[in-house]
Amino acid sequence: MQQTEFKPKKKPQNNPFAELNTQKPAFFNIYISQDK
């Protein structure tokens, strides 16, 4: 996946990962680890 999608600086409305990062940062980190 493109890193642009992981950047919360972009519009969070278009970035569903931003909400996950805010609500569950641990889950978000695990998702990135598995994605890499």
CB 18 within 8 A of CB 30: no
> Which residue from 12, 20, 9 is spatially nearest to 35, judged by alpha carbons?
20
Query: Quick one: pLDDT at residue 2?
Result: 55
Per-residue pLDDT of the chain (36 residues), as tens digits, is 555 556 556 555 556 666 555 555 666 666 666 655
Among the residues of the chain, which ranges form H helices? 16-23, 25-35
For position 34, what pLDDT does the model report?
A: 62
The three-class DSSP label of residue 28 is helix
Quote the pLDDT of residue 24: 57
* Alpha carbons 31 and 35: distance in angstroms, whole number: 6
